Amino acid sequence: MNDDTKGKSPYLSRRAFGRTALLTGAAIAAPAILGRAAFAQSADALKDYTSANIDWKREAGAEIMVGGATHPWSNAVTPFIPQFTALTGIKVTTDFRSETEFLTALPIKLASGSTTPDVFMYLAYGQGITAGWLEPLNAYYGNKDLVDLAWYDEQDVLKPAREYPLWRDGERYAFPITAEAQTLYVNKAMLDQKGLATPKTFDEMLKVARALKTSTTAGIAMRAKAAGNATFPLTGFLYSYGGELMKDGRVVYDSPEAVAGIEMFTTMLREAGPIGVSNYDWYEALGDFMQGAAAMTSDTSNFATDISNPTKSKVSAQAQFAGMPTAGDKPSRPNMSCWQAAVNAKSRNKNAAFLFMIWATSKATSLQTSARGLATTRASAWESDGFKKAFGPQAAEAAVLNLKNADADLAKRVRFHPQSPQILNELAVGVSLALSGSESAASAMKKAAAKANAALRT
Amino acid sequence: MTMATKAAAGSAASWRRERGYFILMMLTPAIVLLTGLILVPFVVGFGVSFTDYILSLPPAQFAGFGNYLKLVSTPEFWDALRVTLIFTVASVALQTVIGLGLAVLLHEETRGVPVLRAIYLLPMAVTPIAAVFTFRMMFNPSLGVFNHLLVSMGLPPQDWLGTGNMALFSLVLVDTWQHTPFILLIIAGGLASLPGEPFEAAKIDGATPWQIFYMVTLPLLKPFLAIALLFRSIDAFKTFDIIYVLTAGGPGTATTTLNMYAYKQAIEFVSLGYGSSVAIVMLAIITIVTQIFLRRSRLLTVAD
């Protein structure tokens, strides 16, 4: 025993005991106190939900898994999931991965008969329906315990989004969770410097792109990679020139109108695009625009959240958001898309999964997620101050205009086809060949359409 | 038979039985793993290749040799085979030349060689997918280091992955960076094991260093070169990660190898029947070429 420890009792003194007991008690009580505080806070927020005539607690104790891509929707919804659990007693686990990884693995998992994820984000709608992976939802909408239609107010859902998941037999297999329309983004400062106005037609757009192309700056950057999921921007060009991807069950992206659209898209990128554009995915196009390395880009309205964020974007102050240009006297037809969320047909907790989606797409949740910049499917959320602040009022206005001009039916024809990944891949490969200049747009699209049609089974 | 010989025979039989059990016990984990991870998937894949199975359009129907007939009549398949062969031959040839050269240079025990040896082996220690993502950043036309270097030297920037030939060249470059150390390692091991007498004899006979390399070193290294070539060729033939991350088979289909083609068909288009037939054909090509190579090179033949 050394001098320091000499004379010290191995037992606690009365004061030390009291102090320890107090701290231990506080430590034990803390979660309960904080939990009550949190619950009190969420109970307040839950009022918007408990006013609905829905038996939120009917599936209490169930556990569901929500699968999806790392995406503005999953990022915006995740922080509010504890609120859903407090409301329903349903425990939620999430499995969010990169978009490519998620979309590649999901069909394999569903085809193997997996009961999870119970709810999942989905794009290739037709593929899922014909394969029987998606639960038909009309019967659930008719169950008064699960949904209060007056409270849910489906008329508040933007029309293209509302119509998007309607299958040809009138059945619904999914909830639209985002509404995205192709938007034109321009760097106003660059245009002003050359005395150019925001283009309203494709010819003007080409002229602006050529004028702003320098050895260090691209006139325009858009995704053009030879992959099906990189076809979003070029499809808006094709539609606006009067072309279609599919008609009467056949691939028709080799029509003269479609070829004219592809011709404009590839010419613009070849003459004014960045070096290496043929390998560009959306993040390269967005990155170039945000860094001021490209004067224009055209892609999903969701880009606006990042472009307007000064911590991410160098051009947040000079970016302008515009409607999709027109080709001659043809109407503007921007591409549009809705990410959807479906209930797994093999799920063991379908009611709980349905309740989750009713909660996630409700007005109240949409207001909360839209304040984080998520472009939801609800008009009330789009008009909210929170959304306009996070997304930018001008961006919101442009996105609404483009959504109004978009034709959901055109987009659905290919997305709803059971072989849509292959149809879009052949389109991407054809455009890639036209962009490289190794083939004319007409010849490349003719071959691409022939290949896609030969692969179609239905 | 006396009691003693009977007992001895009994004990030998029991020893053999026990030895059999022991061998079986030791092999069971490997057999179970191989069956589960190789044999079963192979049999299933082989079976599926004779169906028209598309995941999104069930049920699958028996299609006989339909997928194989479609495959040989599809230009994309032959195109993918051509790209695969170009990639394999170019990569392996480049790696063999560089690997052999470096191994011979590093064989001399001069100052600094051990450090150089360690440096040259570093790419092997890097996780392949991490290396490929790094190369993707380096190839970036506007922000990548390669173009930065070219421009700082007064040379024009290159579209590394944007045109067909350039993209294929870039893929070969990355594969060479990653796998040359493997060839270097095998050949360096071979060099260390070579007998000294032939070299001394050649020196006494007045052979030049080049003659020694060409007429002594190279013939003696043949078995090691053959092993390195075989392993690398099989590996290069089925390369996936580099291509998937850097070009995804594009631009157009310029870098779509057989493996990428099979992946696109089976996983992206969920056309499992046709995709499986491509994978089976790949397996057949690798097996046949390997067998021919082994027989010709007599690698597995034990000398009398």
**Structural domain contains residue A435:** yes
Mean pLDDT value across residues A289-300? 95
The Cα A262–Cα A269 span in angstroms is: 11
- Cis before residue B29, ω within 30 degrees of 0? no
Residue B303 has pLDDT above 80, yes or no: no
Residue A425 located in a structural domain: yes
Q: What is the 3-state secondary structure (H, E, C) of chain B?
A: CCHHHHHHHHHHHHHHHHHHHHHHHHHHHHHHHHHHHHHHHHHHHHHHCCECCCCCCCCCCECCCHHHHHHHCCHHHHHHHHHHHHHHHHHHHHHHHHHHHHHHHCCCCCCCHHHHHHHHHHHHHCCHHHHHHHHHHHHCCCCCHHHHHHHHCCCCCCCCCCCHHHHHHHHHHHHHHHHHHHHHHHHHHHHHHCCCHHHHHHHHCCCCHHHHHHHHHHHHHHHHHHHHHHHHHHHHHCCCHHHHHHCCCCCCCCCCCHHHHHHHHHHHCCCHHHHHHHHHHHHHHHHHHHHHHHHHHCCCCCCC
**Same domain for A342 and A228:** no
Contact B270 A111 (CB under 8 A): yes
Least confident range from A44-48, A56-60, A364-368, A380-384: namely: A44-48
In which band, very low, low, confident or very high, does the pLDDT at B236 lie, cut at 50, 70 and 90?
very high
The reply to whether A84 and A106 lie within a common domain is yes
**Closest-CA distance of chain A to residue B248, Å:** 7
Question: pTM above 0.90?
Answer: no
- Find, in chain B, the residue whose alpha carbon is nearest to that of A129: B56
> Of the given ranges (A144-148, A290-294, A408-412), which has the lowest mean pLDDT?
A408-412
Average pLDDT over residues A197-213: 96
Res A44 pLDDT > 80: no
Task: Report yes or no on A38 lying in a domain.
Answer: no
> For the segment B134-161, what is each residue's pLDDT rounded down to a tens digit?
999 899 887 789 999 999 999 988 889 8
Q: Are A341 and A327 contained in the same domain? A: no
Residues A330 and A341 in one domain: no
What is the per-residue pLDDT across A48-103, written as a single tens digit (0 to 9) for each?
Answer: 899 999 999 999 999 999 999 988 899 899 999 999 999 999 999 999 998 888 98
Name the B residues in 75-94 with CB < 8 Å from any A CB: 76
Nearest Cα to A375, choosing from A390, A359, A358?
A: A390
What single DSSP character describes residue A327?
Answer: -
Contact between A436 and B252 using a beta-carbon 8 Å cutoff: yes
Per-residue pLDDT, A26: 57
Tell me the average pLDDT across B168-172: 96
Asked if B252's CB is within 8 angstroms of A131's CB, the reply is no
Closest CB to A225 among B58, B248, B253: B248
Does the pLDDT at position B237 exceed 60? Answer: yes
Statement to judge: residues A185 and A174 lie in one domain = no
Please give the average per-residue pLDDT across A6-17, as a whole number: 52
- Distance between CA atoms of A360 and A178, rounded to whole angstroms? 11
In this structure, the answer to whether residues A302 and A422 fall within a common structural domain is yes
Candidates A278, A288, A290, A458, partner chain B, best to mutate (most B CBs within 10 A): A278
Q: Kindly report which listed range (A133-142, A328-337, B129-138, B295-304) carries the lowest average pLDDT score.
A: B295-304
Give A9's pLDDT tier (boundaries 50, 70, 90).
very low
- Domains (range + CATH), chain B: 74-297 (1.10.3720.10)
Query: Which domain CATH number covers A319?
Result: 3.40.190.10
Give me the percent of chain A exceeding a pLDDT of 70: 90
| Average pLDDT for A284-309 | 92
The partner residue sitting opposite B269, judged by closest CB among A277, A421, A435, is A421
- Residues A450, A329 share a domain: yes
Is pLDDT of B299 > 70?
no
Q: Higher confidence at residue A25 or residue A9? A: A25
d(CA A140, CA A171): 11
One domain, residues A423 and A295:
yes
Burial class (CB in 10 A: 0-12, 13-18, 19+), B38: exposed
For residue A231, tell me if it sits in a domain. Answer: yes
Length of chain A: 458
Q: Do the domain assignments include residue A39? A: no
Q: Nearest CB to A226: which of B56, B142, B251? A: B251
Residues of A in contact with B55 (CB under 8 A): 107-108, 111, 131
Quote the ipTM score. Answer: 0.75
Range of the domain at A110: 56-179+337-398
In a domain, A361, yes or no: yes
- pLDDT recorded at residue A16: 59
More confident residue, A57 or A227: A57
Sign of the C-alpha dihedral computed for residues A321, A324, A326 and A327 taken in this order: positive
The pLDDT assigned to A161 comes to: 85
Rounded to an integer, the average pLDDT of A401-413 is 87
Q: Is the pLDDT at A37 greater than 50, yes or no?
A: no
Nearest by Cα to A259 from A455, A440, A450:
A440
Query: Is the separation of the CB atoms in B71 and B278 below 8 Å?
Result: yes
- Give the tokens for residue B297: 């090179």
Whether A108 and B141 lie within 8 Å, measured CB to CB = no
B98 to chain A nearest CA, in Å?
29
Chain B, window 193-232: residues with a beta carbon less than 8 angstroms from a chain A beta carbon: none
Which residues in chain A are contacts of B52 at CB distance < 8 A? 457
Residues B270-285 have a mean pLDDT of 95
Output B162 or B89, whichever has higher pLDDT. Answer: B89
Indicate the residue of B159, B247, B253 with minimum beta-carbon distance to A275: B159
Chain A positions touching B73 (Cβ under 8 A) are none
Q: How confident is the model at residue A39 (pLDDT cuts 50, 70, 90)?
A: very low
- The mean per-residue pLDDT over the stretch B176-194 comes to 92
How high is the pLDDT of residue B97? 95
Mean pLDDT computed over B275-281 = 96
Check pLDDT > 90 for residue A276: no
Q: Average pLDDT over chain A, rounded to whole?
A: 88
**pLDDT reported for residue A34:** 46
Which range, of A60-69, A239-248, B215-224, averages the lowest pLDDT? B215-224
**Which of the four pLDDT bands, split at 50, 70 and 90, describes residue A31?**
very low
User: Using CA atoms, how far apart are residues A247 and A306, in angstroms rounded to an integer?
Assistant: 35
pLDDT(A413) > 90: no
A403 assigned to some structural domain: no
* Nearest of A435, A29, A129 to residue A270 by alpha carbon: A435
Residue A347 pLDDT > 90: yes
Residue of B44, B48, B54, B56 to mutate, testing the A interface (most A Cβ within 10 Å of its Cβ) = B56
Judgement on whether residues A265 and A185 belong to the same structural domain of the protein? yes
The shortest CB-CB distance from B56 to any of A107, A225, A275 is to A107
In a domain, residue A135? The reply is yes
pLDDT at A5 over 60: no
Most confident of A13-22, A344-353, B13-22: A344-353
Q: What is the pLDDT of residues A139-190, one digit of tens each?
A: 999 998 899 999 999 999 988 888 888 887 789 999 999 988 999 999 999 9
Residue A186 and residue A169 in one domain:
no
Q: Are strands A340-343 and A119-122 parallel, antiparallel or unpaired?
A: antiparallel
Structural domain tally of chain A?
A: 2
Same domain, A162 and A258: no
Q: Within this chain, do residues A205 and A307 fall inside the same structural domain, yes or no?
A: yes
